[in-house]
Structure 1
């Protein structure tokens, strides 16, 4: 019952943010119990791509619209962007032409955890919506992003949250054009700094288990939202589901 209610909640989030009607809203406000007003904020990458990986949205047209919006350029309030690593590792090696996803469509700089998850979601679902993405070279974008993650692993032995330098004081200035802007700004109140990042590295590992390259088959078992076989034993729910519709 909890899973079905969560699925309905996710589906109701599509178009719920009237500023971005072709995508999934981040969620509802929490000012009062069972608040049904939408959060007047950005579209997050995970709110799009985790939904795809979880299979929470069955409607092809909605998935296509959300992915099409996410794969637009920054100028069109999409999530795709390029980063340059101007610092490099201790030996002076610098990965170049890094392609990935911003944390949200108000953010700045690639956030690599979300990028790995996005590649997995696109690999899993591309056949469903590929014909509706005529303006996007989908397979080229997948290769660019996965290749960028491999470059980072080769350079650092881990995946950083961001390749953009700068500290908290730099981020507070909100000057995204600076050489060191203070990491990858989420656009919604915090930033990810240039450090090896557990979640980004873990998602990179899941991606490479999911599909290492175009010559290998997709391994659905590497999707963390994929139902395991055999299924986990059910336990009595103690969650309060009052606010979640059936």
Structure 2
């Protein structure tokens, strides 16, 4: 666990090299819960509980202003009041997927907070957002106080500098732009489209590359230095964002930019294996490992092409896991088991005898990544081939069971959360293979992806 030993890194770690692909088989849970889910689909009560967690994460610091973002993880994760831009973009999309007045109100408030961060950065005025922000007070590990909410006394956004979350990744920006675009469509409010366009323009200025593999680069670090990596995941996000901006603005220049991002993604396709590689470190050589989950499922949601939809079968076969209490390093309680997928091919080959990082636990090779499991469920529902719906419902049943039984006794902002509300990021500690891990802490991002899958809402479609 993270606890007092320090935090895990963000999910958007830099692209690296690692171990070769592992193999697993998608195993039916064999439980009454899973069989019932195949017949009934997503549970409305589970969805209501998930929304109650998103509300609690958003309302955790009522004494620190009405302009607010949602805390990403429960306090037990050791990241204090950190609110990742990516997670909050997903929360916007999940609230809109509820099709309720309350959901629209919450999505609008979060969207306005993203615009505030864009307009009130303490250093830059160029449309960027940072990787994460602080949204409430805490005392850091070194004893230094962080007394502010999301908006500091001088009106600037409270950037998450304590953990070094000061850079700007193209993928994070793209998801924020997708969320603002969705708000522009739903509300008709011009400010959201203006913010999304500013994001797209920043990405075009900073990320565009003429390297042999093309596409858009990773972004910048906290010192505003451009990073040399190019990510399949990020360019997939841009296919979604640029397509949506083209439709909303009528500016065909966004279609050219979409085509550039799409060409990079297609360059990462491995036809012999039926999957997409993770990207490139230098713009010339393709990284062959690790092979992550999201570059398979998100590509389907963004491209919707029968040429590439075998990537979903690759995930369902090669990244499938079943976490049980008898697994080495599993933290699943006795009598429980969870099926789904893991983060990457390297996760299946993680060193079970060593901690994921200093001060953190040893990984469970069969730990279920619930956010990715929801990605796959949504993508299968979107593809809608034979048996896809039944497989998706079984995966959603596993996520719902995790919401019911895992993550009890956790808090946000020091306040107890309702039990059985909020999806943990992983069933047991898992090593992503990209320099960071996921743990059994309730997570805004995982909960939002569950709600998107339950609602069949594709955020990457144009």
Instruction: Note whether the superposition's TM-score is higher than 0.5.
Output: yes
Q: Is the 8 A contact 2:371 2:425 kept in 1?
A: yes
Q: Residue 10 in 1 paired to residue 270 in 2?
A: no
Larger Rg: 2
Cα 1:95–1:115, aligned 2, differ >3 Å: closer, same or farther? farther
Of residues 125, 136, 147, the one that matches 2:383 is 125
Q: Secondary structure at the match of 1:81?
A: strand
Q: Give aligned pairs, total.
A: 171
Q: 1:82 aligns with which of 316, 322, 326?
A: 322
Q: Are 2:398 and 1:152 equivalent residues in the alignment?
A: no
Q: CA deviation at 1:119?
A: 0.5
Q: Please provide the CA RMSD for this pair.
A: 2.3
TM-score, structure 1 length as denominator? 0.62
What is the rounded CA distance, in whole Å, between the counterparts of 1:126 and 1:26 in structure 2?
A: 25
The structure carrying a bigger helix percent of its residues is: 2
Deviations 1:65-113 (A, max 9, x none): x2232222xxxxx11111136757xxxx878331111101221321111
What CA deviation, in whole Å up to 9, does each residue of 1:119-155 have, x standing for no partner? 100110132xx4xxxxxx6454323211011112233
CA distance in 1, matches of 2:452, 2:334: 24
- Asked if the contact 1:95–1:152 (Cα under 8 Å) also holds between the matched residues in 2, the reply is no
> 2:381, 2:388 within 8 Å by CA — same for their partners in 1?
no
CA shift for structure 1 position 13: 0.8
Report if aligned partners of 1:11, 1:57 keep a CA contact under 8 Å in 2: no
Q: Secondary structure at the match of 1:106?
A: helix
Structure 1 runs not aligned, ≥5 long = 73-77, 131-136, 165-182, 211-221, 228-246
Q: TM-score, normalised by structure 2?
A: 0.35
Partners of 2:398 and 2:461 in 1: CA distance: 25
Alpha-carbon distance change, 103 to 9 in structure 1, aligned in 2, over 3 angstroms: same
Q: Which blocks of at least 5 consecutive residues in structure 2 are unaligned?
A: 1-255, 348-364, 406-419
Q: Distance in 1 between matches of 2:287 and 2:393?
A: 33
Cα distance in 1, alignment partners of residues 286 and 273 from structure 2? 12
> Quick check: 2:402–2:427 contact (8 Å CA) kept in 1?
no
Q: For 1:223-234, list aligned pairs within 5 A.
A: 223-227=458-462
